[in-house]
Amino acid sequence: MTDYALLARQLDALLDDRDWLTNSAQTCAFLMQELPALNWVGFYLHREPGMLGLGPFQGKPACHPIPFSKGVCGAAARTRETQRIDDVHAIADHIACDSASNAELVVPVVVDDRLWGLLDLDSPRRGRFTEADQHGIERLVRAFVANTDLT
Ligand code: SME
């Protein structure tokens, strides 16, 4: 089982700069190294109304831009709630960027009641993200937010 408390402490120590670009790139690389069974981790940024633009990521080149109206990422942006999908093929408007992806977790990054962006994780393993993983990864997102200037 993944020790998310340990990962949160390690991420906290890793993010020793407050710059959003540096920290988001470091966070993706850290998660890709530390979490098993992932094929893609990255940030989508909310820099224009109703749209998500691709930010720092690890994995294959991905879809850009994504409107709020589409896909699992769009649902996370609209609802500002984490989307945890056991099997992306069961989601009618899932946007397939990498055919290796079968499960997905998308965590909104909200700062001062404003959607800054999303953290998106994809796995080749169906059901990869348990509720415990969701809570653990939300905790890592909080560590990213606490260490970064996002306003
Ligand atoms: N699958 C996502 C799109 C982003 S990629 O997974 C990197 C979606 O349906 O929104």
Contact 68, 47 (CB under 8 A): no
Query: What is residue 117's predicted lDDT score, i.e. its pLDDT?
Result: 98
Which run of H or of E encompasses 2? none
- Rounded mean pLDDT, 121-128: 98
Residue ranges of E strands in the chain:
40-48, 51-59, 66-67, 83-85, 103-111, 114-123
Nearest CA to ligand 1 atom 1: 95
Query: What is residue 6's predicted lDDT score, i.e. its pLDDT?
Result: 98
Preceding peptide of 67 cis, ω within 30°: no
Distance 94 CA to ligand 1 centre (A): 7
For 11, the 3-state DSSP assignment is helix
The distance from CA 21 to its chain's CA centroid, rounded to whole angstroms, is 15
For 128, the 3-state DSSP assignment is coil
Distance 96 CA to ligand 1 centre (A): 6
Give the model confidence (pLDDT) of 142-151 as tens digits.
Answer: 999 999 999 8
Give the model confidence (pLDDT) of 50-86 as tens digits.
Answer: 999 999 999 999 999 999 999 999 999 999 999 999 9
Q: What is the pTM of this model?
A: 0.97
Task: Count other C-beta atoms under 10 Å from residue 62's C-beta.
Answer: 16
Q: Which domains, and CATH codes, for the chain? A: 4-146 (3.30.450.40)
pLDDT confidence bin for 112, thresholds 50/70/90: very high
pLDDT confidence bin for 131, thresholds 50/70/90: very high
Distance 42 CA to ligand 1 centre (A): 10
Distance 124 CA to ligand 1 centre (A): 13
Nearest CA to ligand 1 atom 5: 97
* DSSP 8-state class, residue 150: -
Query: What is residue 50's predicted lDDT score, i.e. its pLDDT?
Result: 98
